[in-house]
Chain A
Amino acid sequence: MRIVPFIIFSLITAALIIILNTSLVLPAPLGKLLSPQHGIWQNAEPVNEDFTANLSFPQLAGKVNVYLDERLVPHIFAEQENDAYFVQGYLHAKFRLWQMELQTLSAAGRASEVIGDVALNHDKEFRRLGMVYAAENSLKEVEKDPLIKAECDAYTAGVNAYIEGLTESQLPVEYKLIGYKPEKWSNLKTALFLKYMSYDLASQEDDFEMTNAKNYFSKEDFAILSPAMKDSADPIIPKETVYPKPKVEIIIPPSADSLYFNNSAPITITKQKPDKDNGSNNWAVSGKKTQSGFPILANDPHLGLNLPSLWYEMQISTPDFNVYGVSFPGSPGVIIGFNDSCAFGFTNGGRDVRDYYEIKFKDDSRKEYSFNNQWRKTDFRFEKIKIKGQPDYMDTVAYTVFGPVMFDKNFTGNRTATNKNYAVRWKAHDPSNELKTFYLLDRAKNYSDYQAAIVNLHTPGQNCVFACKNGDIAIRTQGEFPAKWKGQGDFIMPGIDSSYMWQAMIPMDEIPFQHNPERNFVSSANQLPADSTYPYYLGSSYTPYRGITINRRLNTMNIITIKDMKILQTDNYNVFAEMATPIFLKNMKEQELSNEEKKYFEILRTWNFKNDLDSKGATVFYLTWEHFEDTVWNDDFAKAPKVIVRPSESTLLEAVLKDSSFKFLDNINTSQTETLADMVTSSFKKAVIELKEAESKDKLEWAKYKDTKVQHLTKLEPFSRFHLPIGGGTHCINATKSNHGPSWRMIVSLTPKTEAYGVYPGGQSGNPGSKYYDNFIDTWVAGNYYPIWIMKPSEVNDKRIKWKMSFSK
């Protein structure tokens, strides 16, 4: 034996292995990752992969057959209801495990465990918002309900059955790339997932921003900048509706005028915000308006566009029910879809159900706080945040009668100046059992079943549309909402006594709804739920425009076919531009425009208000409006506190339409008084600079300018899709923005044999190495749909079935 070379080469080999098995030297453990029998190659699914399987699990009570069609949509046929949920959990895990776990880890404020301290602020914020506390409260409610508990237990068991059978080489590729492993699923994780949706959909508030705006501007100016009601409002429940006298009487605190609506010091808190355009369209038309004589329902929820998609399409069939639609990987049941009798869909309610109270602690220990002239004890929740590659971070959150103290000396939300404490009161903290909504909807046979189902939906508030084969159509602006006095919770509220607390919830029988209205259709698009005669305060953060287009079209449409509905759902008409463009055309000082500017002005003048993919006018309008807003507001907001929001587009548009000498048009930094024409012309000139640049890069056409993408949740570019040629935009029914838009388009005709169409921008497999990862995207981009096959038990030999998975005991 040659000892010296032996030792040298042993060391070299060992060093090589360590380098290639860890991230100590190289950015990734390349040996582990590229080993063909362990690493990423194992995720390269053959394009003709055979998904056929025979599986047995002792947890099952009966037989379950899953037929996978050519789009990899599973059609689950289960003898026992809970077996169906077991298999649903198994399939969610098989195709979407990584995203389900990531989203729940993020919801629980545990992202740092996976990606390190870059996520620490996110984790602290989510813990302090009480996400886990909220999920625990909701889980307690679920555990009280034997049906829903059994559903969740079966689902969890199904997810875990898949995880237990998973070998290292079968781990989803993201686990391998990031370097961690999945943990067991639990009912709490399902609850966390649903709270994540509440975070995304029930966080509409600008309380800190509005407080600052109120403090910065004069009372009169503030009233102009944040009007409670928009002129153009076309509420979900039409204007003439008569509401009964409210059952709940709300007492306005005596100190409201002096202490609350008055000015105080600005606050400098910033926090994460979900996309303010999280919205949707839904409508149902009665048989009187359709060619078939039966109702048609349409729904397209607008959410962040991600891969793997938020949605997973499936059919679940048991002896008791048969439902088809999209589900959330992470939760049992079908969320948006239809069964043999009726169809249902949702748009976001957008009510303000999250408020903040300023807390006065006795001292730095935060052990007691002042409440109703007494010192009251706080409860502490200890949050241990694990951080990848670093010691744990300990955070202690104080809980008050209002809720957790989200912001204090230990978490300032990038606060720089004041040292105040703010507790958050969020409706999502309250116990509720949202899963029951979907459990019952999936089985609903008629309007009263629908009613019984949706009253269980408390948070996030949703406009629930419904249509039934018996001819019924309905919509309900559902949610359990606090009954607020006008202006309650628009700003930070005093937390020293109970006078500013939420006093009661709006009774369920006072929720605005419509059932078979005379106009023969119901619709919602995140606009105001009801007009000002509704006796409860509704807040003001609603977008009016998509609703206007939808109602205008549905009013005039008759003998409607499915094709008409497809055209409507993918409509690029921009009603906001229709209202705003005349201001630009009328007030432009054309004599001051150069020849080049005139060329772009001509494009705007001849534009048809459609945000079509090749439209140049849409880009000219978009940039002109952007610069118009900047030109009008920049001077007024230049010295304002940083944490503030500018008035909405509709506020500016309506102000200018009403009054061409709108006070804020004047640039306060110049001696002369600017007119609307000055503002319009100078905005347009600034827009042209960008337009020229866009044109030089061949990006003047709207789709190229907007540049829609669907990104992987890690934002890894090779796992994402870019530069999608699709039109639409914020105020169009086809609300496709750059990374946000119709996350599922569904049209259901409730004829005796249901006819349905659907598409979502993704694919059934979450594996970037599968051909089913993003195969729906091009269909979605083109505005096309897949015909939905509601498989019958007798169709087991249909040629659309590609694979069969059998599950048994």
Chain B
Amino acid sequence: MKFIVSILLTALLSFATCLFFPWWTIAIVAFIVTAVIPQSPGRSFLTGFLALFLLWGVLSFLISVPNEHILAHKISMIILKLDNPYLLILVTALIGGVVAGFAAMTGSFLKKKKNATE
């Protein structure tokens, strides 16, 4: 339950802060969520990772489909040197996930060990 709530909270708050602040505020959000809702470092990483992997993956997918992937085709060729919109969506999701994952894990170390593992 804690795990699911943390993921949802991280994703939701990340979306909200990114409406007004730079992209890397996802790290701050992920950090705060795991600091407030303590979990083990491993689970914290997964929380942040999954939250942003899903958020960025779903958002870019939802943008790219109505665009008929016109831009994703072109940008994937520029950035990845491969014409594959879905790979670009995957890379997007991974970047969000990794940054939020590490930030969330950092947050988990704020608490003492026994509290964190429950």
Contact = CB atoms under 8 A, between A and B. Distances in A.
Interface of A: 1-2, 5-6, 9-10, 12-13, 16-17, 20-21, 28, 30-48, 173, 177, 716-719, 768-771, 773
B40 to A, nearest CB: 12
B43 interface: no
A47 B67 contact: yes
Q: Name the residue in A33, A37, A770, A773 with the highest tally of chain B Cβ atoms < 10 Å from its Cβ.
A: A37
Contact of B27 (A17, A32, A48): A17
| List of 10 A-B pairs having minimum Cβ-Cβ separation, nearest first | A769-B71, A35-B23, A36-B59, A44-B67, A46-B66, A718-B74, A6-B109, A9-B106, A718-B77, A44-B71
B79 A30 contact: yes
A33 to B, nearest CB: 7
Contacts of B105: 9
Contacts of B99: 13, 16-17, 20, 31
B72 interface: yes
A37 B27 contact: no
20 contacts: A5-B41, A6-B110, A13-B103, A16-B102, A21-B24, A32-B22, A34-B79, A34-B91, A35-B96, A36-B63, A36-B92, A37-B15, A38-B18, A43-B71, A44-B72, A45-B71, A46-B66, A47-B67, A771-B68, A771-B70
B12 to A, nearest CB: 13
Q: Is the interface of B mostly helix, strand, loop or mixed?
A: helix
A16 B19 CA distance: 21
Nearest to B22: A38
A453 to B, nearest CB: 41
Interface string B82-103: 0000001001100110110011
Contacts of A1: 109-112
Contacts of A41: 59-60, 63-64, 71, 92
Contact of B70 (A17, A21, A47): A47
A12 B75 CA distance: 28
Interface of B: 15, 18-19, 22-24, 27, 31, 41, 55-56, 59-60, 63-64, 66-68, 70-75, 77-79, 88, 91-92, 95-96, 98-99, 102-103, 105-106, 109-113
B81 to A, nearest CB: 10
A46 B98 CA distance: 28
A39 B24 CA distance: 12
A33 B79 CA distance: 10
Contact of A769 (B67, B77, B78): B67
Contacts of B23: 21, 31-32, 35, 37-39
A172 B109 CA distance: 41
A760 B105 CA distance: 55
Given A32-B22, A44-B70, A46-B66, 13 more contacts: A6-B106, A12-B102, A13-B99, A13-B102, A16-B102, A34-B56, A34-B91, A36-B92, A38-B22, A41-B64, A41-B92, A47-B67, A769-B67
A17 B31 CA distance: 13
Nearest to A27: B79
A5 B56 CA distance: 27
B60 A34 contact: yes
Contacts of A716: 78
B79 A44 contact: no
A31 to B, nearest CB: 6
Contacts of B41: 5
Contact of A2 (B27, B68, B77, B113): B113
Contacts of B71: 40-41, 43-45, 173, 768-769
Nearest to B83: A718
A47 B109 contact: no
A466 B69 CA distance: 45
Nearest to A9: B106
A770 to B, nearest CB: 7
B74 A768 contact: yes
A48 B19 CA distance: 23
Contacts of B24: 17, 20-21, 31
B103 to A, nearest CB: 5
Q: Name the residue in A13, A42, A43, A47 with the highest tally of chain B Cβ atoms < 10 Å from its Cβ.
A: A13
Nearest to A173: B71
B115 to A, nearest CB: 10
A41 to B, nearest CB: 5
Contacts of A21: 22-24
A16 B98 contact: yes
Given A9-B102, A34-B91, A40 B75 contact: yes
Contacts of A13: 27, 31, 99, 102-103, 106
A11 B63 CA distance: 33
A227 B102 CA distance: 75
A9 B106 CA distance: 5
Contact of A30 (B66, B68, B72, B95): B95
A6 B35 CA distance: 11
Contacts of B55: 36
Contacts of A717: 77
A478 to B, nearest CB: 42
Contacts of B66: 46-48
A177 B77 CA distance: 13
Nearest to A18: B24
A717 B79 CA distance: 12
A177 to B, nearest CB: 7
B28 to A, nearest CB: 10
A38 B25 CA distance: 12
Contacts of B60: 34, 36, 41
Nearest to A720: B74
Contacts of B112: 1-2
Contact of A36 (B56, B67, B73, B75): B56
B89 to A, nearest CB: 9
B96 A718 contact: no
Nearest to B67: A44
Nearest to A768: B74
B109 A28 contact: no
Contacts of B56: 34-36
A726 B18 CA distance: 47
Q: Name the residue in B96, B106, B110 with the highest tally of chain A Cβ atoms < 10 Å from its Cβ.
A: B106
B11 to A, nearest CB: 12
A730 to B, nearest CB: 31
Nearest to B78: A718
A42 B92 CA distance: 13
A769 B75 CA distance: 9
Given A1-B109, A768-B74, A44 B22 contact: no
A28 B70 contact: no
Contacts of B109: 1-2, 5-6, 9
Contacts of A35: 18, 23, 56, 92, 96
A10 B22 contact: no
A634 to B, nearest CB: 40
A20 B95 CA distance: 8
A47 B70 CA distance: 9
B67 A45 contact: yes
Contacts of B96: 35
A37 B62 CA distance: 12
